[in-house]
Amino acid sequence: MLNPILWAKGIKSMMGVPMVAGGRVTGVMHVGSLLPRKFTGQDVELLQLAADRAAAAVQSMAAKADRVAVEALQRSLVPSALPAVAGAEMAARYVPGSGVVGGDWYDVFTLPAGELCVVMGDVAGSGLPGAVIMGRMRSALRSYALETPDPADVLARLDRKMQHFEPDALATVLYAVFEPALDQMHVCLAGHFPPVIALPGQPAQLAPIANGLMIGVSPAAPRQVTTVPIPPGALLCFYTDGLVERPGRLLDDGLERLRRVVVAQSPETACAEVMSAMVGDEPVRDDIALLMMRCRPDRADTTAVLVPPASEEVYADA
């Protein structure tokens, strides 16, 4: 425990006390004397006071450094600019939680054949470990997206990869592949909330999409793809749970509030209105990621209907 350099310097007597922060010993504070000395109980108490303060300061610095690193990592993982795609308007918001930075992410990219892909994800766990897992999931999903056009296949591969290499990871993921014409999307949900879809001049609804098991729970979880037609001018709202979940409030109330506030309009305005209505100026504990997309607004048709409406029960009953 004692560094030989100290003895070489001529230290004759030494005492040490633990530096404890957050219930863990983070270091030992030593005081040495060049003359032989017997330390008293009072000396130990005084040094312990100093060590407690130093431990708290060190912990605070470490936490700050960790937070800065996570924020930098997270910023590098959400797109700095959304891709420009003819016929699609997009806007996004990302709000890190007030407590510890968590693992929400979103991604938008195109495939070589012209499909537009949207990913929303929420990794359980926070701080640097959560952000690192999020980064791995994001890049793995992009790789699988290039290999197979089937969203269910992409999420099944992602699940297999996570369960093998990160067996403790747990995440919800939404993966949607839009046809190049932007007239329909193929969506696979892994424990994630379905998007809200608003047609021009009509009340919004939760898109009727079959749900599926979260990533990281069970090998060979069945994965299902739901194809959702997107009438011209429809606005799609993708989000993470932080937007609709609040302690002390029913989840369905949060979803209903969101449904009421989403209106087919410019994505930028829609983002602002949803953030204002759902979050306002209250501090957010959990991360929030929000992505709005409006398809083919130039051909908006207020008489369009979302078919098949009957399949709504797929989700409502789930």
Partner 1 sequence: MPDARFQVEMVNGVPVVAAPEEIDISNAGELRTALLESAAHGPGSFVVDLTRTQFCDTSGLHALVGARKRARAKGGDLLLVTAGAAIPRIFAITGLDQVFSSFTSLEEALAQIPAAASGGTTS
**Dist. CA 133–CA 286, nearest whole Å:** 17
Of 14, 56, 128, 217, the residue at the interface with partner 1 (CB under 8 A) is: 217
- Cβ closest to partner 1, residue 74 vs residue 126: 126
Q: Please identify which residue in 190, 234, 292, 306 interacts with partner 1, judged by CB under 8 A.
A: 190
Parallel, antiparallel or unpaired: strands 235-239 and 196-198 = antiparallel
In angstroms, what is the minimal distance from the CB of 193 to partner 1?
6
- Cβ proximity to partner 1, 75 vs 249, nearer residue: 249
Would you say 61 or 250 has its CB closer to partner 1? 250
Q: Assess 245 for contact with partner 1 (CB under 8 A).
A: yes
d(CA 308, CA 139): 34
CA distances from residue 59 to 17, 47, 213 in whole angstroms, order as listed: 17, 18, 38
| Span near partner 1 by CB under 8 A; candidates 73-81, 214-222, 230-238, 257-265 | 214-222
Residue number, 189 or 292, with CB nearest to partner 1: 189
- Binding of partner 1 at residue 233 (CB under 8 A)? no
| Comparison of 112 and 247: residue with beta carbon closer to partner 1 | 247
Going by C-alpha positions, the residue among 243, 233, 177, 186 that lies closest to residue 209 is 186
Interface with partner 1, residue 170, by CB under 8 A: yes
**Interactions with partner 1, residue window 103-142 (CB under 8 A):** 122-126
Sheet containing strand 196-198, strands side by side? 88-95, 288-295, 235-239, 196-198, 205-206
Rounded Cα–Cα distance for residues 16 and 25 (Å): 13
218: DSSP letter: S
Q: Is 312 in the site for partner 1 (CB under 8 A)?
A: no
Q: How far is the CB of 11 from partner 1 (least distance, A)?
A: 40
Count of C-beta atoms within a 10 Å radius of residue 215: 28
Residue 71 within binding range of partner 1, rule CB under 8 A: no
Q: Where are the beta strands (DSSP E) in the chain?
A: 13-21, 24-33, 88-95, 103-110, 116-123, 171-178, 184-190, 196-198, 205-206, 226-229, 235-239, 288-295
Rounded to 5 degrees, φ, ψ at 28 are -130, 135
Smallest distance, Å, CB 211 to partner 1? 6
If we measure between CA atoms, which residue out of 247, 239, 250, 235 comes closest to residue 275? 239
The span of 24-32, 60-68, 148-156, 239-247 binding partner 1 (CB under 8 A) equals: 239-247
The residue count for binding partner 1 (CB under 8 A) is: 35
What distance in Å separates the CA atoms of residue 261 and residue 256, rounded to the nearest whole number? 9
78 binds partner 1 (CB under 8 A): no
In the complex, the residues that contact partner 1 under the rule CB under 8 A are 97, 99-100, 102, 122-126, 167-168, 170, 172, 190-193, 211-214, 216-218, 221, 241, 245, 247-248, 250-252, 285-286, 318
